[in-house]
Amino acid sequence: MRHEKGCLLVAVALAIGMAGTGELMATEEPKYRVEADHGSFQLRLYDPVVVAETVVGGEFGPGGNEGFRRLAGYIFGGNDGGRKIAMTAPVAQTRGTGTKIPMTAPVSQERRAEGWVVAFTMPAGSTVEAMPAPDDPRVSLRRVGERRVAAVRFSGTWGLEKFDEKARALLAEVKAKGLTPSGEPVYARYDPPWTPWFLRRNEVLVPVER
């Protein structure tokens, strides 16, 4: 609950600030095509994207909140030229093993040895060269290539226990289909914190070998 309250305050502040410029948070999502629908999960091919990312310490909730604040500052004008950048969906968070995990989510989080990596996906068509440089040295830009991902969708709250449960089930199904995971599960949240829990769109995404 504390994690969701923290995200709510950040999201409200960002929405109010962008409303003043006529740029409320957008609902653009990374583009992909469904390669196969296995009923319980989809196999997707995501297009290349550019992400802004930052490394944070702390636990699942507090770490995600801190990363969100830094990246919200970047897209809300904390960059060379004070440019406003549209926000996209979802927010994703990943527990990693110390290696970088490619991900398409506009806001993604993966755990490395030093903590978590939180990332926002930049709007479609962005390039690293054309994006403004972040004012915050803890924020960096990176291009992520095309990737194949297994995805399962569900509604409900954002607790780590629930996401872990869905991730274990998805990994078992992925392996049962003869697919090979190539990274840790990504926990994706598509709706703002004020959305009723039963209406929220959540996903677990598992990178798989092509």
Q: What is the pLDDT along the chain (210 residues), one digit of tens a residue?
A: 544 544 444 444 444 344 443 343 446 899 999 999 999 999 999 999 998 888 887 788 788 788 889 999 999 999 999 999 998 887 767 664 443 434 444 455 555 555 677 888 899 999 999 999 999 999 999 998 999 999 999 999 888 888 889 999 999 999 999 999 998 888 888 888 788 999 999 999 999 998
Rounded Cα distance, 159 and 42, in Å: 23
Query: What does each C-alpha distance from 144 to 13, 122, 138 come to in angstroms?
Result: 29, 11, 19
Question: What CATH homologous superfamily does 2-207 map to?
Answer: Regulatory factor, effector binding domain (3.20.80.10)
SS3 sequence, 8-52? HHHHHHHHHHHHCCCCCCCCCCCCEEEEEECCCCEEEEECCEEEE
Nearest one of 180, 187, 196, 181 to 166, comparing CA atoms: 187
Q: What is the Cβ-side half-sphere exposure of residue 29, based on CA atoms within 13 angstroms?
A: 13
Yes or no: say if 49 and 30 are a contact pair by the CB < 8 Å rule.
yes
Beta carbons within 8 Å of 5's beta carbon, 6+ residues apart? 193
Yes or no: say if 50 and 120 are a contact pair by the CB < 8 Å rule.
no
Nearest one of 124, 58, 69 to 91, comparing CA atoms: 69
Query: What does each C-alpha distance from 111 to 64, 68, 154, 155, 168 come to in angstroms?
Result: 10, 15, 22, 23, 17
Looking at residue 100, the DSSP 8-state letter turns out to be -
